[in-house]
Amino acid sequence: MSEGSGERRWQRLIRFPFRGRAGIAADVDEEFRFHLDRRAEELRARGLEPLAARDGALGRFGDLNDARRYCVALDARVERGARRRTWFGDIAYDLKHALRQLRRAPGVSLVVIVTLALGIGATTAIFSAVRHLLIDPIPVPGGDRIYAVSRVSGDGSMFITPRGEAVAAWRRGATSFEHLGTFTTTERTLSASDAPENLIAGEISADVMPLLGVRPLLGRAFTNDDARNGAAAVTILGHGFWKRRFGGDPRIVGQTISLDGRPFTVIGVMPRNFSVPFLFGETARIWLPLSADPSVVGARAIAKLRPGVTRESAERELSEIMRSDPVSARSAGEWKPIVRRPQDYLGTGTRDTLLVLLGAVGLVLLIACANVANVLLARAVARRREFVIRAALGAGSGRVVRQVLAESALLSVAGGVLGLLIAWGGLGLIVRIRPQQLAALDEVRMNPEIVAFALAISLVTGILFGLAPAIFATGRRLQDPLRSSSRSSTAGAGAGRARRALVVAEMSLSVVLLVAAGLLVRTLVAMQQAPLGFDPSGLTRAWIILPAERYTNVQQRTEAFGEILRRVRGIPGVEAATWSMGVPPDLGITIGTLELEGRPAATEGNVTLQFNAVTPEYFGILKNPIRAGRPLSDRDSAAREVMVSESMARRQWPGESAVGQRLRLSSNGPWNTVVGVVADVTLPSTGGAPFAGGQVYYTRFNAGFEEATLVVRQTTGAPGLATALVRVAEAVDPMIRVREVNAVGSLVQARFAKERFNGILLTAFAVTALVLAGVGLYGVVAYSVSQRVREMGIRLALGARPRAVMRLVLLGEARLTILGVVLGLLAATAVTGLLRGMLYAVEPTDPLTFVSVGVALLAIALVAAWVPARRAMHVDPVVALRGE
């Protein structure tokens, strides 16, 4: 009893601070020594000699070393567990405390979280998209071995599809490939009494699906037999089409649908989003077997290399086979086979666009980080007193730093989660507004590595700028903020400078983005407003194909075309209609030597001209004004009449009238007389010089071909014209095919899709940047006002007018803004040259854009500073001077 009583002064030393292995051993030894000493004392008290007493004590204890080892090992384990528990316990405490701190300043927390989220979201979405388009292999098993096979011209400037004979020879002899597939697109008409419909059909050889590692969702894949001549016509439905037209009914497999008036047996349904990645420009609704026959022309080829086979060795083998194959060798000419990554089909223009977007989104991330740094810096400076007090109360500097770390981590994680949501939505938006060239974007997924990267960036920013002031605060000048009662102590001067620098940087980066966005928007507007030379609104075109086997002579074709036109003109809402060979923006191109009568033979070599074969009504229907002469005479006229575009007339017959002149496009062909000059049809385009060759119009031949383009102008935008046209054609002959029914206006707009895509994205980034910069500026000004409340109070008390105080604040802020804007505009002049290829009718240094951006930014800055400046004006001198 006596031993334990009375000792109530427990010293909790065992848990904290933690002991090392040596400390543990020392403790065990001390405990044991105490015991042994007591025993020895006891023995001595019984009369033993000191040495004998010690030996006795040791002897009674038993195996000392064994017990000691056991206890030390056990305690070390206990210690580790305790250390872990304490660490987690502290983390939990830190997080709880951090959450409380963040909730106490909801405005600041929200700004940081939203800023991070915007930065992470935009970056993740764009980087994911770009990585998917430019870097990642096709997302199928073995996708890194999938390549496109095509031909390249001798000078390397043009790529075309391989010839059927070559593909057949490669299929027979090449050992480089696991699979070699071919595919193409066609358009088909689904004949259905209630709602006939034009469909994009993907025609694929039997190798394509195994090459992509895809099996049909329902039914079976194509076999080589399906594409043989005389085989039963079969089709596999696309997933979306199956859902839309057949309600996703699995019993459709085995049934028949009618395409172009012919029955096709449905043998399967494709999985969702099936496509040939990167190579398929359009979304196919249905899939048909493509014959492996060498006579197939215009099909693209896709190959999966055997593992270990390089692109170059495959190319060598293909060339070798072509040289040894008599048919291929003859037709090869200067064209060489080339094996390329599917991504290469995007073209350099698209790549440049993507890289510009990448740069822009990088700037947004930079601005976001600057903003976070800015806000956290302000907060940390404002909390210096808190840190110092906590340090003074015994919190180790490590503890304070951990606290700040917890807050930063919490903010970063919240921002990251919100950012991922934004990225997810943004990616969906990007897919929705993507231009045709980027069809491969439909398969884009958020890239986990990029998500991790963006999160890491935000975490580092948060930690760096949250931590630095905390370390500073708990460091050398511990007691300063406590000693000086005034809050306007100079302690935060360094941080203040850093914050102003950050705001200036944000401003200038925003200016760069805004200028870029402004140039792209101006491009888009200029393209929309560019005179086309005709009026596309209300125009629809359709491509009509008579089955060649039934319409063998001109008489039959003339009658059929005439009957169709008569009925089309009877469709309600149709104002006028006629036939032509093509319609802008899809005009034919002819390359030849242009000869002018009475001039020496052409010196400029081959010229490229757009040409069209039209009827006399064509120009009226297109509202394509005739500038001189008269329209082509009636189609039955035997006279060889042509019309030329204005720019061509001016170039070829400068200073004289083109009307009455004669020209021919081959050196021994018949002469054609120019009867009229018509306004240029131009389509604005970015990147490269616009097409300058001019246009030549011939009289439409007397139904010389079985295909023709129907041009229809409607009085009203009556819907259902496509269906009506298919019905008309069916009524004349169910075998007549109607293809590519499109509003001409939408075809023209589709030409601007890339520019619209760029414009929308860059504008989104620029606006984000502007908002972030505005928030940053507001933060700086609001903070400096709150720091200078006493000064304002003194000024007001000494008789300064409130307006003067406000001006003082605004002037201080204006210096930052003007500096930011000037730096930004300078940077922009250096950078916008990169955009040259994306601009139309706008110079990279367009003064209007630069000036408007500068003015806009100054205005935004004024608004951002106005609110805190007003607060300064309304400072109550009494309250301000009474102090804290």
Partner 1 sequence: MNDRLDLPQGTLDLLILKTLSLQPMHGWAISERLHQVSRATLQVPQGSLYPALHRLERRGWIAASWGASDNNRRAKYYELTRAGRKQLAAEAAAWAKLTAAVDLVLDMQ
Q: Does 46 interact with partner 1 (rule: CB under 8 A)?
A: no
Strand-strand pairing, 695-699 and 606-614:
parallel
Q: 68 phi and psi, to 5 degrees? A: -65, -50
- Kindly tell me which residue out of 25, 71, 413, 418 binds partner 1, with binding defined by CB under 8 A: 71
Minimum distance, C-beta of residue 48 to partner 1, in the bound complex (Å): 17
Strand-strand pairing, 707-714 and 539-545:
antiparallel
Minimum distance, C-beta of residue 24 to partner 1, in the bound complex (Å): 10
Task: Give the interface segment with partner 1, choosing from 9-17, 204-212, 275-283, 336-344 (CB under 8 A).
Answer: 9-17
Minimum distance, C-beta of residue 38 to partner 1, in the bound complex (Å): 5
Give the residue from 747, 762, 680, 701 showing the smallest Cα distance to 536. 747
- Whether residue 536 is preceded by a cis peptide bond, meaning omega within 30 degrees of 0, is no
- Kindly tell me which residue out of 20, 31, 262, 475 binds partner 1, with binding defined by CB under 8 A: 31
What 3-state class would DSSP assign to 543? strand
| Closest CB to partner 1 among residues 1, 830 | 1
What 3-state class would DSSP assign to 754? helix
Q: Does 45 interact with partner 1 (rule: CB under 8 A)?
A: no
Contact 790, 881 (CB under 8 A): yes
Minimum distance, C-beta of residue 40 to partner 1, in the bound complex (Å): 11
Q: Give residues 825-844 in contact with partner 1 (rule: CB under 8 A).
A: none
User: Helices 448-474 & 384-392, crossing angle to 10 degrees?
Assistant: 70
Q: Does 22 interact with partner 1 (rule: CB under 8 A)?
A: no
The contact pattern for partner 1, residues 74-113, with x = CB under 8 A and - = no contact, is xx-xx-----------------------------------
3-state SS of 109-130? HHHHHHHHHHHHHHHHHHHHHH
Give the residue from 437, 536, 517 showing the smallest Cα distance to 749. 536
| Closest CB to partner 1 among residues 60, 97 | 60
Q: How far is CA 28 from the centre of its chain?
A: 65
3-state SS of 372-407? HHHHHHHHHHHCHHHHHHHHHCCCCHHHHHHHHHHH
Minimum distance, C-beta of residue 70 to partner 1, in the bound complex (Å): 5
Q: Does 25 interact with partner 1 (rule: CB under 8 A)?
A: no
Task: Give the interface segment with partner 1, choosing from 12-20, 97-105, 180-188, 678-686 (CB under 8 A).
Answer: 12-20
Q: What single letter denotes the amino acid at residue 640? A: R
| Closest CB to partner 1 among residues 11, 485 | 11
Q: Between the CA atoms of 781, 787, 793 and 799, what dihedral angle is there, to the nearest 10 degrees?
A: -50
Q: Does 64 interact with partner 1 (rule: CB under 8 A)?
A: yes
Q: Does 32 interact with partner 1 (rule: CB under 8 A)?
A: yes
Residue with tokens 């004349």: 732
Q: Does 67 interact with partner 1 (rule: CB under 8 A)?
A: yes
Task: Give the interface segment with partner 1, choosing from 28-36, 248-256, 272-280, 603-611 (CB under 8 A).
Answer: 28-36
Q: Does 13 interact with partner 1 (rule: CB under 8 A)?
A: yes
Q: Does 16 interact with partner 1 (rule: CB under 8 A)?
A: no
Q: Give residues 697-716 in contact with partner 1 (rule: CB under 8 A).
A: none
| Closest CB to partner 1 among residues 28, 835 | 28
Q: Give residues 109-168 in contact with partner 1 (rule: CB under 8 A).
A: none
In sign, the C-alpha dihedral spanning 25, 29, 30, 32 is positive
Size of site (CB under 8 A) for partner 1: 36
The count of other CB atoms within 10 Å of the CB of residue 300 is 20
Task: Give the interface segment with partner 1, choosing from 63-71, 115-123, 518-526, 759-767 (CB under 8 A).
Answer: 63-71
- Kindly tell me which residue out of 16, 26, 49, 61 binds partner 1, with binding defined by CB under 8 A: 61
3-state SS of 300-344? EEEEEECCCCCHHHHHHHHHHHHHHCHHHHHHHCCCEEEEECHHH
Minimum distance, C-beta of residue 468 to partner 1, in the bound complex (Å): 40
| Closest CB to partner 1 among residues 32, 345 | 32
- Kindly tell me which residue out of 66, 155, 636, 884 binds partner 1, with binding defined by CB under 8 A: 66
| Closest CB to partner 1 among residues 5, 603 | 5
Minimum distance, C-beta of residue 34 to partner 1, in the bound complex (Å): 5
Return the DSSP state at 224: G
Q: What distance in Å separates the CA atoms of residue 848 and residue 835, rounded to the nearest whole number? A: 16
**Cα separation of the two ends of the chain:** 59
Minimum distance, C-beta of residue 28 to partner 1, in the bound complex (Å): 8
Task: Give the interface segment with partner 1, choosing from 66-74, 414-422, 456-464, 580-588 (CB under 8 A).
Answer: 66-74
Minimum distance, C-beta of residue 91 to partner 1, in the bound complex (Å): 22
| Closest CB to partner 1 among residues 83, 727 | 83
Task: Give the interface segment with partner 1, choosing from 73-81, 167-175, 396-404, 765-773 (CB under 8 A).
Answer: 73-81
Q: Between the CA atoms of 816, 818, 819 and 821, what dihedral angle is there, to the nearest 10 degrees?
A: 120
* Residue 73: both structure tokens together: 């090992």
Neighbouring C-alpha atoms within 13 Å toward the C-beta of 397: 13
Question: Which parts of this chain interact with partner 1 (CB under 8 A)?
Answer: 1-7, 9-14, 27-28, 30-32, 34-35, 37-39, 60-64, 66-67, 70-71, 74-75, 77-78
